[in-house]
Chain A
Amino acid sequence: MPDLKRLFRESGKRQSDIAAAVGRSEGAVSQWVSGDREIPADLVLRIEEFTGIPRHRLRPDLWETSMTSSARPTPPDLTHLQRLEAESIHIIREVAAEARKPVMLYSVGKDSAVMLHLAKKAFAPGVPPFPLLHVNTTWKFRDMITFRDERVRSMGMELIEWINQEGVAQGINPFDHGGAYTDIMKTVALKAALDHHGFDVAFGGARRDEEKSRAKERIFSFRSEAHRWDPKRQRPELWNLYNTRIGNKESIRVFPISNWTELDIWQYIHLESIPIVPLYFSAERPVVQHNGLTIMVDDERMRIPPGQAPQMKRIRFRTLGCYPLTGAVESEAATLPEIIQEMLLTRTSERQGRAIDHDAAASMEKKKQEGYF
């Protein structure tokens, strides 16, 4: 006789719930548990479905021999991270299968780290069948570049680094050129890199929860020859079917982690032990105050505001970019759980630390139409 009392208890369902689920009285269920009666054969599958207890354990006399394999457990529900992971891998594979010449934009941050990890899983035991592209403004944190080169080496992937040499020659920098700096060294550089190599599809690590206008961005985002985004010409995305067909010179930006939130990203990094740039963890670093942000003095090019001297503070970064434009937060969080704890208790959104967003309400949408990622 099966020990139904124990089986039911381990399933987490109360006997009264089981009774309700199969339309029997609680008395009937207690008769099964006490062994006075057996579970009627026609209820076994419904109870299996409700409790997750395999049929051959409920009625071994009926099912044990007829089961093809008694070792087949009923799989538990997938977790939200498993579902997000599966969706992202599906998207990455679909691009690899249908694109002529895809590339993955790698910005070295935590979202890129997750995207790269997903790409690795998608093609294991092989290596992802596309190169990585890093648009380097030459003002990235030094730690980012060190980390990038180590990751690429251990993944065995090709990295294409693109620097807008014209902008470098003209001395374009984040101190003197403000918005034009981002445009020339990031947006223009990205378009030039894509055109130069003839990439038809570029993966990006943007998420829909980052900003309001991104909530309506499709996973496959179509761009004209001039890389412009037209919100009215986006294609409907049904089920998990993606239409990847494009005309000559048109291109697609694909966002495999669209449906991840900042919390999902951190939980996944924690769960999968994905390496991230040390700048995300708290440490003593030299900082100054600049335009209302706490800026780390990463190299000698930093223009120290008059009257200030770099101070050592325990800081970390919630998002990474060009060091003179990326605000640090004072923090003691030195481990992943502490980072997640701090994020959950904090009261400001992650993009607040980026100087680029402090424009008009719909600024991101405008930038996107112009081709900013």
Chain B
Amino acid sequence: MAHVSDLIATDIGAYLKQHETKSLLRFITCGSVDDGKSTLIGRLLYDSKMIFEDQLAALESDSKKMGTQGENIDFALLVDGLAAEREQGITIDVAYRFFSTDKRKFIVADTPGHEQYTRNMVTGASTADLAVILIDARKGVLTQTRRHSYLVSLLGIRNVVLAINKMDAVGYSREVFDRILGDYMAFAAPLAIEKIVPIPISALMGDNITERSGNMSWYAGPTLMSHLETVSIARQPSGAAFRMPVQWVNRPNMNFRGFSGLIAAGTIFPGDPVKIMPSARQSRVASVILDGEMPYATAGQSVTITLEDEVDCSRGDVICAGESPAEVSDQFETTLVWMNDNPMLSGRSYLMKIGAKTVTASVTTLKHKVNVNTLEQSAARDLKLNEIGVCNISLDQAIAFDPYEENRHTGGFILIDRLTNETVAAGLIHFALRRAQNIHWQSVDVGREARADQKRQRPCVLWFTGLSGAGKSTIANLVERRLFAMGKHTYMLDGDNVRHGLCRDLGFTNADRVENIRRVGEVAKLMADAGLIVLASFISPFRSERDMVRRLLPEGDFLEVFVDVPLDVAESRDPKGLYKKARAGEITNFTGVSSPYEPPETPELHIQTAKMRPEDAAELIVAGLEARGLLRGGDA
């Protein structure tokens, strides 16, 4: 790894001293295979002497075997990693490369540029301080250039290098460069990118990469490398207020209690007043520790802070500057970048991780989606893989946050699917919805327990789920009659009946099914709150929605009753003639036929109706309720 400095051979001590103070720049390269992106990165590694002889020998032999540059070295082969990609000749993921010069260390996120890789580009951009947007000089500004620039501005990257590549193929023409630059500036103007530096280059020939090009004497600006080495990166405005999400409460013994985390903004000194958000409890910093005590610590450092008071503070809280703490809310307007094959559905609940906090979130309104190529907004009901939308989201508890524009680390979040555990979206908080601050719970004097006591019963929700024709409504009806006869106050919510009124506006797409269950769940919750035993009978094919209703209710008040019957039995019963229509293609999205049913994993009650009369099933359920103590009076 022959670094260029003579100091290495002559005075290694001085060299090390110099290199201890190097800074770090993380950047992303945006462009497609054809723009010469891999060639550019390979060239940067090669020109900064980061290629070893054994790697170079392998590169030379690979270039002859599978290169695209004839007898010349194909630099792209240096960076195309996985075997599958090498065969296809495209990069399909985010790869991280490293090189360093005497001034800086660089981490390059190398991401593919096609539209189907929007999620990869967003991932790479999320940690970048600067973006190099590549343009093929022969082609000029393309749709993809616009897309890349939009994503770069969305993710809050303030520094852009517009690398106009393949200048050798246009005769190093100044006119071509000027025309492309003019086109680009015209459309980039509304994107709020603070600093755009255009550089004409040829990655293939090495023009203006590390050495000034003799072919473009008309260009007076910096080479790409010298710009990357010297560009000043303000990661946050000076004087930003202190923020540190608490990752870990460090309590090795009774005498020490520290709060550990990565400082997201600002600088902290012992003695500084702080507020713990969202609780807004106040204290002062007693000490700042990293190995030993430090005079202060600043954004980007992982430290442990001790406080002067024994305040309540745990993982997920944010320690903030006392005079300007983070905002607190449970409803936000956000932008979501969808990253999963399963589309985003309004109303479905996801896990949201922000800082060190994980909460439950659901999208309440999908306001519009954004066409990443044209920036046009259009109405939508769901977001598919690589689509971007502006959404309102609602959380199950209030969190501390800053708008993403002010701080990536207290305003950026991910959504996680509860069942598959996959990361399904990246999100950016724009602002808190005022609604959340202004609509408070109206407190009432007669409470849930008082209403239940009056009825001398324990309210609960019996949730009957199963295929169409399984016998849900029949059995629920029999159970209700028995409960009624026992003097219980009940109400039955039926899948068909609610679609005549409450959910009249909904169809049977996945998005509508989710909303249907959400509404019914909220109604069931209100009725249980009113003191009733609620029997809800819905196909409710998705586990995540049934779990959502479960979480709406106090622990133990939701009983999932799985009315289980094999599909062929249900289909042979076909009481409403629906299976026949579904098989004939007259009904789409029919559960069991053209839409999936996800059976409960651990239902409270499991009834197999193929082997049992409905009366016996009802008997079994009532017995199950008794066994759980749910039918004892409120006087117990």
Contact = CB atoms under 8 A, between A and B. Distances in A.
- Decide whether A and B are members of one complex: yes
Interface of A: 45, 48-49, 69, 71-75, 77-87, 89-90, 93-94, 96-97, 120-127, 208-209, 212-213, 215-216, 231, 234-241, 243, 245-247, 258-259, 261-264, 267, 270-271, 337-338, 340-341, 343-349, 352, 361-362, 365-366
Given A84-B24, A208-B98, A349 B54 contact: yes
B126 interface: yes
Given A83-B300, A267-B16, 6 more contacts: A49-B238, A81-B20, A97-B248, A127-B252, A239-B126, A352-B54
Contact of A238 (B105, B238, B251, B414): B414
Interface string B246-280: 01101111001000111000010101000000000
Contact of A125 (B21, B289, B315, B353): B289
Nearest to B125: A238
Nearest to B404: A239
A236 B8 contact: no
8 contacts: A82-B300, A83-B300, A85-B302, A125-B252, A208-B98, A212-B79, A216-B96, A243-B422
A247 B16 contact: no
B291 interface: yes
A243 B8 contact: no
A272 to B, nearest CB: 9
Closest 8 interchain pairs by CB?
A126-B252, A362-B83, A89-B302, A80-B24, A347-B53, A80-B105, A245-B421, A349-B52
B174 interface: no
B304 interface: yes
Contacts of A258: 96
Interface stretch (B405-413, B475-483, B526-534, B623-631): B405-413
B79 to A, nearest CB: 7
A270 B13 CA distance: 11
Interface stretch (B115-123, B387-395, B459-467): B115-123
A124 B2 CA distance: 37
Contacts of A122: 260, 302
A284 to B, nearest CB: 23
A215 B96 contact: yes
A344 B24 contact: no
B93 A337 contact: no
B100 interface: yes
B22 interface: yes
Nearest to B66: A361
Interface in B74-113: 78-79, 81-84, 86, 93-98, 100, 104-105, 107, 110
Contact of A236 (B16, B53, B119, B302): B119
B282 interface: no
A118 to B, nearest CB: 9
B203 to A, nearest CB: 19
A97 B251 CA distance: 13
Contact of B100 (A48, A69, A261): A261
B308 to A, nearest CB: 16
A93 B353 contact: no
Contact of B82 (A73, A78, A213): A213
Contacts of B122: 236, 238
A344 B8 CA distance: 7
Nearest to B251: A126
Contact of A261 (B98, B252, B409, B414): B98
B82 A238 contact: no
Given A79-B20, A246-B421, A347-B52, A236 B120 contact: yes
Main secondary structure of the interface of A (DSSP, over half): helix
Contacts of A81: 20
B255 to A, nearest CB: 10
Contacts of A69: 269, 271
A78 B22 contact: no
A97 B353 CA distance: 14
A93 B260 contact: yes
Nearest to B83: A362
Main secondary structure of the interface of B (DSSP, over half): mixed
Nearest to B351: A245
A147 B509 CA distance: 63
B248 A365 contact: no
Interface residues of B, number: 86
Contacts of B2: 344-345, 347
A216 B414 contact: no
B20 A267 contact: yes
Contacts of A346: 1, 52
Given A86-B302, A261-B100, A216 B126 contact: no
Contacts of A243: 353, 414, 416, 421-423
A71 B296 CA distance: 11
Contact of A365 (B82, B269, B300): B82
B123 A237 contact: yes
A114 B82 CA distance: 28
Interface string B20-44: 1111100000000000000000000
B356 interface: yes
A87 B351 CA distance: 24
Contact of B238 (A74, A85, A97, A245): A74
B439 interface: no
A79 B248 contact: no
Contacts of B248: 93, 96-97, 123
A271 B21 CA distance: 11
B9 interface: yes
Nearest to A235: B423
Given A80-B104, A126-B252, A365-B83, A236 B423 contact: yes
Contacts of B253: 126
B375 interface: no
A348 B53 contact: yes
B304 to A, nearest CB: 7
B12 A236 contact: no
A215 B81 contact: yes
Given A123-B250, A236-B119, A239-B409, A337 B13 contact: yes
A86 B301 contact: yes
Nearest to A245: B421
Given A74-B238, A343-B1, A236 B296 contact: no
Contacts of B3: 344
A83 B339 CA distance: 28
Interface string B518-543: 00000000000000000000000000
B320 to A, nearest CB: 16
Contacts of B19: 267
Contact of B262 (A234, A240, A247): A240
Nearest to A258: B96
Nearest to A344: B8
B373 interface: no
A16 to B, nearest CB: 16
Given A243-B414, A345-B2, A235 B21 contact: no
Contacts of B339: 236
B247 A241 contact: no
Interface centre among B22, B105, B120, B298 (most CB of A within 10 A): B105
Nearest to A78: B300
Contacts of A349: 52, 54-55
B51 to A, nearest CB: 9
B360 interface: no
Nearest to B304: A124
A192 to B, nearest CB: 25
Contact of B247 (A97, A234, A245, A366): A97
Given A49-B238, A270-B16, A343-B1, A209 B98 contact: yes
B587 interface: no
Contacts of A83: 24, 300
B173 interface: no
Contacts of A241: 353-354, 412-414
Nearest to A259: B107
A231 B93 contact: yes
Contacts of B291: 120-121, 124
A71 B354 CA distance: 34
Contacts of B271: 69
